[in-house]
Amino acid sequence: MKELAEVLKDWEAVIGLEIHTELTALDTKMFCGCKLSHDDEPNANVCPVCLGLPGALPVPNKRAIESIVKAGIATNCQIQKRSMFYRKHYFYPDMAKNFQTTQGPVAFAMHGRLDLEVTGRGAAERPACAFGAAEAESLASASANAEGLSTAMNKQMAEGRAAVGALSAMSGYDTAGLAVPELHEDGSYTVPIRILRIHMEEDAAKMVHVGGEEGRIGGAAESLVDYNRCGTPLIELVTEPDLRTPEEARLFMEKLRRIFLTLGISDCSMEHGSMRCDGNVSLRRRGETSLGTKTELKNLNSFKALHDGLAYEICRQAEVLEEGGTIYQETRHWEPSRKRTQVMRVKETADDYRLFPDPDLAPFDLTDEFIERCRAEIPELPDAKRDRFEADFGIKRADAEQLAGDPDMAAFFERAAAGRSGKEAQTVANLIVNELTGFLKASGADLAASGIAPAQVASLARLLASDAISSNQAHEVFGAMAETGEDPEAIVDARGMRQVSDAGALQPIVDEVLANCPDQAQQYRDGNQKVIGFLVGQCMKASRGTGNPKLFNELLRASLS
């Protein structure tokens, strides 16, 4: 198979995402008062409503509606004042009623947009030909031909056509005014990704197949159903087919996750499935306007899986097409261990879910007051926070972006870096991005449980910025601080780590090292600059780590010149 970079020169990948997010921050389920928790014993949190027992009726969770309205506002969607719940019928034991309560042609939030800043190596995935005016054509033709959920529903349902028609007329929503990505000198670019809709639905139960292969139902001796998850409030975001590279898909997902975390509506765990992503991808020759046949990818349960799964599938489709083969509309399963996608199910015809308005749930009429209250409760969003961190603290944009994306980390940074800017603030940022996140990842603890205080990181940063300790020492001090809870100053003093930055004290060590390493000294004099690193290391060793490595470096160079 060809490499992705090679494939994308000839082929354009058209990618759309469907992202499900469980509203884990809520206390109760979507349509009943059952506790929202997946950790309890199986079927502990169930009632006649979420079990779909005869005669039970749904009552919508108002806080879930608030959550989706916030999600819609934060992703620049239009909030629909009137929308309805629909019943989507399919037969499977994970859905107790054999229909899922979801939304119809009009969702609570429609027609939004997020702008992606694509930088670094990932930006190179989009080939140079895919910028500027050519992209305008590409976007317009892709969305005009896309067969999304809502377009199918609009075709099928007169009320859908009417409602969506009215919306389009109202918003003037089209591709004409849409910005197209322009390549910057540093290889980065910004691309707008449109969001078709965000709708509200209920999650299904969890099934456990015992005795079969790989936990699949085929061949299982028995299948167990845990209805604790059944009825969990779920929001599904559907993008327009505006994504063109796996990197853009990954960045979109990351960005969305940061927004939802900031809103506090979900814990957004891809690992535990509270945020799940399906990718739809098709290929067409560069310059083509009609769309190719798409496949749907499942099991993309990490950012890496999302990227790598799409990258593999793009390369696979290219190979099939280049060999004269046919792409079938099918659902494929990403197998990270084998680095390939496998067919799960072939879709020969569209499923007929017999959608119709749920007669047990009256249409929703959201008041301006309700929407404005939701808007007022939205905290500062990651993009704004990133820009503020960059401007106010003078830290690197990439670090600002990472810090701003995690509400807890962002708050921690603001407290640790309060009153600082420039180098000092950047030192705080470095410690959080490198030391703190590394420690949390390794220990598995979360920030609150770690017991590490912003003031401790601030004092560690002060020690570093004043050259009192080296960055290697800072790593050691951080570890000790996290373990014992002691303050950095105390640790540094107790361990005699305070860095020596006195040239007079360090010169004898330099002289001694040069005397002991005549070969390396000669190599440096002969023009091998790199060997200075070895000599600095020897000095550090001789000083038992207390000497200032920068000063050693200067003294060595001076002595050797």
Count of residues near another protein by CB under 8 A: 34
430: Cα separation from own chain's centroid = 21
Shortest approach of another protein to residue 35 CB, angstroms? Answer: 17
- Nearer CB in complex with another protein: 18/159: 159
Shortest approach of another protein to residue 31 CB, angstroms? Answer: 9
Window contacting another protein (CB under 8 A); options: 90-98, 165-173, 194-202, 228-236? 90-98
Residue 156 within binding range of another protein, rule CB under 8 A: yes
- Nearer CB in complex with another protein: 88/258: 88
> Of 159, 335, 486, 487, which lies in the binding site for another protein, with binding defined by CB under 8 A?
159
Q: Which residues contact 148 (CB under 8 A, 6 or more apart)?
A: 16, 196, 238, 240
Window contacting another protein (CB under 8 A); options: 276-284, 348-356, 497-505, 552-560? 348-356
What character string, x for contact with another protein (CB under 8 A) and - otherwise, covers 182-221?
Answer: -----------------------------------x----
Residue 365 within binding range of another protein, rule CB under 8 A: no
Nearest CA to 44 out of 52, 35, 53, 31 is that of 35
Residue 87 within binding range of another protein, rule CB under 8 A: yes
Q: Which residues contact 410 (CB under 8 A, 6 or more apart)?
A: 385, 389, 403, 404
324: left (phi over 0), alpha (psi -120 to 50) or beta: left
- Listing DSSP states for 65-120 in one string gives HHHHHHHHHHTTPEEPSEE-EEEEE---TTSTTSEEEEE-SS-SEEEEEEEEEE-H
> Of 352, 365, 368, 369, which lies in the binding site for another protein, with binding defined by CB under 8 A?
352
Residue 361 within binding range of another protein, rule CB under 8 A: yes
Q: Which residues contact 554 (CB under 8 A, 6 or more apart)?
A: none
Q: What Cα–Cα distance (Å) separates residue 153 from each residue in 15, 89, 419?
A: 21, 14, 54
Residue with tokens 């806080």: 63
DSSP state of 362: P
Q: What Cα–Cα distance (Å) separates residue 124 from each residue in 9, 188, 246?
A: 11, 8, 11
Residue 147 within binding range of another protein, rule CB under 8 A: no
413: Cα separation from own chain's centroid = 20
Residue 101 φ/ψ, nearest 5 degrees: -85, 120
Window contacting another protein (CB under 8 A); options: 152-160, 321-329, 420-428, 500-508? 152-160
Shortest approach of another protein to residue 132 CB, angstroms? Answer: 40
Shortest approach of another protein to residue 327 CB, angstroms? Answer: 24
- Nearer CB in complex with another protein: 218/324: 218
Residue 157 within binding range of another protein, rule CB under 8 A: yes
Shortest approach of another protein to residue 158 CB, angstroms? Answer: 5
What character string, x for contact with another protein (CB under 8 A) and - otherwise, covers 47-76?
Answer: -x--xxxxxxxxxx----------------
- Listing DSSP states for 124-141 in one string gives TTS-TTSSTHHHHHHHHH
Residue 545 within binding range of another protein, rule CB under 8 A: no
Could you list the residues that contact another protein (CB under 8 A)? 48, 51-60, 87, 89, 91, 93, 96-99, 156-159, 217, 350, 352, 354-356, 358-362
